[in-house]
Amino acid sequence: MFKKSYAFMLIVVVGFSGCAVKKARTITVGPISGQSHQDRPKREVIKEEILIKNNPNLGNRIPVPKNNPTLDTKSSSEATVSHNRGSYNSNSVVSASELNGETMERIAFPEDEYRNLKKIGNRTVSGRVYLQNVITDQKVMGNRVKLYLNPVTSYSKQWYDQSYLGGYKLSPSDKRLNNYLKLEYSNENGEFRFFGVPKGSYYLIGQMSCDQRCGFDSKKSTRLVKEIYVGSDLNDIELMKNVP
């Protein structure tokens, strides 16, 4: 009789210990890891236009230039240049009223800055140049477009900020700049290729003429500029602009 009672008590103890183990495992799993995606709080989506319009830290913004540079073109803040051919300062502004319709004077050619630039390299830069009609989505490829690679310096940055983005007319460039430009032409399909390009940052520059195919009323010339960095070979660059 004693043996049967002892066996019965042993079974009960083992049973309770088994239940305790199961409870511990259930508590360890917890409700969080098993929570469904539907039960989790949704992240609030912040609209980009709200940030742009209401963010007080964005600073002054310039209006979108009439030449409508493409979105992937690196742009800069409003810029200025001293009337006395001083150094280029991109932090202050020369207004159109101050210029009074006169030609903006270029800064003095920075000889020391250009002396440090390499003229010959071993990189290749290639791609396509074209205009795209935003109404019809037609791509008009640049046939025999003259293209330049212009190293990014304080001298070329003045041109980019004031002439390309700002629309001001600048005085003629220093002839010494030609020693640092690379020139190529696109083929009939708008494809181009530069050889022997040194490492560094450049403005890739072209100019295309187009008519009704681009949505213009008559034939119009359009400048295309894109800032690129050449660290190794660059292929499939798209120098393009949406028109009209």
Q: Which pLDDT tens digit goes with each residue over 155-194?
A: 999 999 999 998 899 999 999 999 999 999 999 999 999 9
Quick one: CA dihedral 146, 157, 178, 66, positive or negative? positive
Q: What integer is the mean pLDDT of 8-30?
A: 44
All domains of the chain in start order, with CATH: 51-243 (2.60.40.10)
Q: Which has more pLDDT, 186 or 71?
A: 186
Amino acid occupying residue 88? Y
Q: Which has more pLDDT, 7 or 196?
A: 196
Amino acid occupying residue 164? Y
- The CA-atom distances, in angstroms, between 182 and each of 108, 125, 185 are 22, 11, 11
With H, G, I as helix, E, B as strand and everything else as coil, classify residue 67: coil
Q: What integer is the mean pLDDT of 222-234?
A: 96
- Helix residue spans in the chain (DSSP H): 2-29, 48-54, 96-99, 111-115, 154-158
Q: Which has more pLDDT, 57 or 116?
A: 116
Pairing verdict, β 234-243 and 123-133: parallel
pLDDT of res. 89: 60
pLDDT of res. 244: 93
Pairing verdict, β 191-197 and 123-133: antiparallel
Residues 197-220: tens digit of each pLDDT: 999 999 999 999 999 999 999 999
Backbone φ and ψ for 235, nearest 5 degrees, come out as: -120, 160
Residue 102 — very low, low, confident or very high, per pLDDT cuts 50/70/90?
Answer: confident
Whether pLDDT at 4 is above 70: no
Q: What integer is the mean pLDDT of 17-29?
A: 42
